[in-house]
């Protein structure tokens, strides 16, 4: 049903072609492309243009039968329909934002000894600047993730990027150590925004078969209701009756439920937390090994991290090559590779990690050429990236609709480890010496080596015995059946079969965990 002309006579706004006044519905408006400019979408997030206003939505526009708002067939507001060039520009910006946040966390380590001298504090207090920043990574996602679900990512990015810049600038000009440490914590908390939301931004644009756009459509429905005087509701809100407060509560609690009830989430989180903490331990240990032991200056000492950078770049190259293998596996399984197909790089990385750490531990003395421990750090870094990329994508493929909660649990735990490890680095290296102190994380990495192999061999059986993993698999099968145009009975948690629009785990899917939409079908969850 089109919007009545009388309700639109005084409404005008900017479209891609400039100013347009809506004069009422016509036949051509039903087929008109909705192609707003980029800046129109920035200033009008709802994306309501004349084509949107005059589109015939199902419903009567009443509270009992509201107009059901969905994206138009050709809709420039739909991230999936962005031009490929725009998608890659946004992807690059998200990568740069994540890089900037990580750089701010690690660049601090090169100035630790200057901070000690300038503020007359102990090494432990100076290193708190690293720990508190990374601790902010654990706190920030608990706020930014639910906010982005209800208000969209754009406003959250604006707010958090401004906060990161302001708090970082304040830390740079701090006149005492207390101010420096407090501002570093807030910089980390605000900087966590791209770490938690960038993946969702990319998924919005590239995941064509299963996506979500709840905030965009909710805004569009609200704007249409305001303009036309009728009742509009987002297609994705039709079956959602849970109050926002309850949804936020679910969003905050589910990561912890997954962490302590799902073995795959728990073991993966522990493994990644250990190697992430070890990375930050090295950030605190490198100044000890290369500046204190070898007498390097702060500037030269920073060059020791080149080995870590080279190792990470090498791991990215491995990931690109391995992706070809994964594509072949997916093709052999009808386009849907099992989650365990993600694990071979993690198996390789689980070997490189202890090799690099043991190598570094027993060659980092001043009697060994400096290039040897730096090469060892490259092996560690390559293993770290391989394990990170492989296990995190394994989590996403295993938990699909619950992936955001699984990743949030992983993010919080690894951030806590990353914050804690640097605090005892100084004491450990002082009491144990540089060799044995570096050996301890090597033994931890060695103990975790079997994890990827365990998942590779027994992962499917483990997942099917886990409540949330089994339920996610059921939803995926339902979605796959919908796309193939057929019905397939699926087993949901609790032993029931049939179509699973209602989740037995009883949780409203947060928008970061995606409402799964396919070919006119919608799979949703409700919490009673």
Mean per-residue pLDDT, 231-260:
73
pLDDT at 526 over 70: no
SS3 annotation, 427-449? HHHHHHHHHHHHHHHHHHHHHHC
Q: What is the pLDDT of residues 121-175, one digit of tens each?
A: 998 899 999 999 999 998 887 788 777 766 777 888 999 999 999 999 999 999 9
Q: What is the pLDDT of residues 291-303, one digit of tens each?
A: 889 999 878 888 9
C-alpha distances (whole Å) from 238 to each of 64, 73, 144, 364, 407 are 12, 20, 25, 61, 27
Predicted confidence band at 240 (pLDDT cuts at 50, 70, 90)?
A: low
450 or 485: which leads in pLDDT: 450
Predicted confidence band at 250 (pLDDT cuts at 50, 70, 90)?
A: confident
278 or 80: which leads in pLDDT: 278
What distance in Å separates the CA atoms of residue 303 and residue 376, rounded to the nearest whole number? 15
392 contacts 249 by C-beta, under 8 angstroms:
no
Predicted confidence band at 112 (pLDDT cuts at 50, 70, 90)?
A: confident
Q: What is the pLDDT of residues 329-365, one digit of tens each?
A: 999 988 889 999 999 999 999 999 999 999 999 999 9
Question: Of 18-27, 278-287, 326-335, 382-391, which has the strongest mean pLDDT?
Answer: 382-391
Question: Of 117-131, 394-408, 467-481, which has the strongest mean pLDDT?
Answer: 117-131
514: left (phi over 0), alpha (psi -120 to 50) or beta: left
Complete DSSP assignment for 60-75: -SSSSS-EEE---SSB
What distance in Å separates the CA atoms of residue 505 and residue 525, rounded to the nearest whole number? 9
Residue 299 pLDDT:
82
Q: What is the pLDDT of residues 213-229, one digit of tens each?
A: 555 666 667 767 767 66
CA 502-145-452 angle, 5° bins: 75
pLDDT at 449 over 80: yes
Predicted confidence band at 266 (pLDDT cuts at 50, 70, 90)?
A: very high
pLDDT at 527 over 60: no
What distance in Å separates the CA atoms of residue 473 and residue 467, rounded to the nearest whole number? 10
pLDDT at 515 over 50: no
Q: Determine what percent of the chain is predicted with pLDDT higher than 90.
A: 43
Residue 253 pLDDT:
84
187 or 142: which leads in pLDDT: 187
Supply 17's token pair: 């072609």
Residue 10 pLDDT:
38
Q: Determine what percent of the chain is predicted with pLDDT higher than 70.
A: 72
Q: What is the pLDDT of residues 46-98, one digit of tens each?
A: 667 777 776 777 777 777 778 777 777 666 667 777 788 888 898 899 889 98
Predicted confidence band at 21 (pLDDT cuts at 50, 70, 90)?
A: very low
pLDDT at 381 over 60: yes
323 contacts 342 by C-beta, under 8 angstroms:
no
Work out whether strand 490-491 and strand 18-21 pair parallel, antiparallel, or are unpaired.
unpaired
Within 10 angstroms of residue 323's Cβ, the number of other Cβ atoms is: 11
Q: What is the pLDDT of residues 483-506, one digit of tens each?
A: 565 444 444 443 444 333 434 444
Count Cα atoms within 13 angstroms, Cβ side, for 68: 10
Does the global pTM surpass 0.75? no
């Amino acid at each position: 049903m089109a919007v009545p002309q009388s309700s639109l006579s005084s409404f005008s706004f900017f479209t891609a072609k400039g100013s347009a006044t809506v004069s009422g519905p016509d036949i051509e408006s039903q087929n008109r492309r909705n192609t707003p400019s980029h800046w129109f979408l920035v200033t009008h997030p709802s994306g309501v243009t004349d084509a949107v206003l005059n589109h015939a939505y199902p419903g009567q526009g009443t509270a009992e039968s509201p107009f059901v708002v969905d994206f138009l067939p050709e809709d420039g507001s739909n991230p999936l329909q962005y031009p490929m060039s725009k998608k890659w520009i946004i992807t690059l910006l998200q990568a740069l934002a994540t890089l900037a946040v990580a750089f701010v966390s690690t660049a601090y380590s090169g100035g630790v000894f200057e901070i000690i001298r300038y503020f007359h504090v102990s090494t432990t207090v100076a290193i708190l600047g690293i720990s508190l920043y990374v601790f902010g990574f654990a706190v920030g996602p608990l706020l930014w993730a639910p906010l982005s679900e209800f208000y969209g990512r754009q406003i959250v990015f604006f707010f958090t990027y401004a906060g990161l810049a302001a708090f970082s600038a304040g830390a740079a000009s701090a006149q005492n150590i207390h101010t420096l440490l407090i501002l570093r914590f807030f910089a980390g908390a605000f900087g966590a925004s791209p770490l938690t939301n960038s993946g969702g931004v990319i998924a919005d644009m590239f995941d064509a078969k299963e996506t979500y756009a709840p905030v965009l459509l909710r805004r569009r429905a609200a704007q249409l209701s305001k303009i036309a005087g009728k009742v509009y509701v987002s297609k994705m809100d039709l079956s959602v009756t849970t109050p926002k407060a309850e949804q936020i509560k679910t969003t905050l609690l589910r990561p912890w439920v997954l962490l302590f009830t799902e073995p795959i989430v728990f073991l993966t989180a522990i493994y990644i937390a250990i190697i992430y903490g070890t990375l930050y331990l090295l950030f605190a240990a490198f100044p000890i090994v290369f500046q204190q032991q070898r007498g390097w200056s702060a500037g030269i000492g920073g060059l020791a991290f080149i080995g870590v950078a080279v190792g990470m770049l090498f791991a990215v190259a491995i990931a690109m090559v391995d992706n070809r293998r994964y594509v072949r596996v997916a093709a052999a399984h009808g386009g849907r590779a099992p989650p365990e197909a993600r694990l071979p790089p993690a198996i390789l990385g689980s070997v490189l990690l202890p090799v690099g750490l043991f190598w570094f531990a027993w060659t980092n003395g001043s009697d060994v050429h400096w290039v040897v421990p730096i090469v060892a750090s490259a092996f560690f870094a390559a293993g770290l990236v391989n394990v990170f990329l492989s296990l995190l994508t394994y989590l996403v493929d295993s938990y699909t609709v619950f992936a955001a909660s699984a990743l949030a649990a992983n993010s919080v735990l690894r951030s806590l480890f990353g914050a804690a490890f640097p605090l005892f680095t100084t004491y450990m290296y002082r009491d144990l010496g540089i060799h044995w102190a570096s050996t301890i994380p090597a033994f931890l990495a060695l103990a975790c080596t079997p994890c990827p192999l365990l998942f590779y061999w027994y992962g499917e059986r483990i997942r099917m015995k886990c409540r949330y993993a089994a339920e996610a698999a059921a939803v995926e099968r339902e979605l796959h059946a919908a796309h193939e145009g057929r019905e397939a009975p699926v087993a949901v948690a609790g032993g029931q079969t049939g179509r699973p629009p209602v989740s037995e785990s009883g949780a409203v899917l947060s928008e970061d965990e995606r409402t799964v939409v396919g070919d006119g079908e919608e799979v949703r969850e409700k919490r009673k």
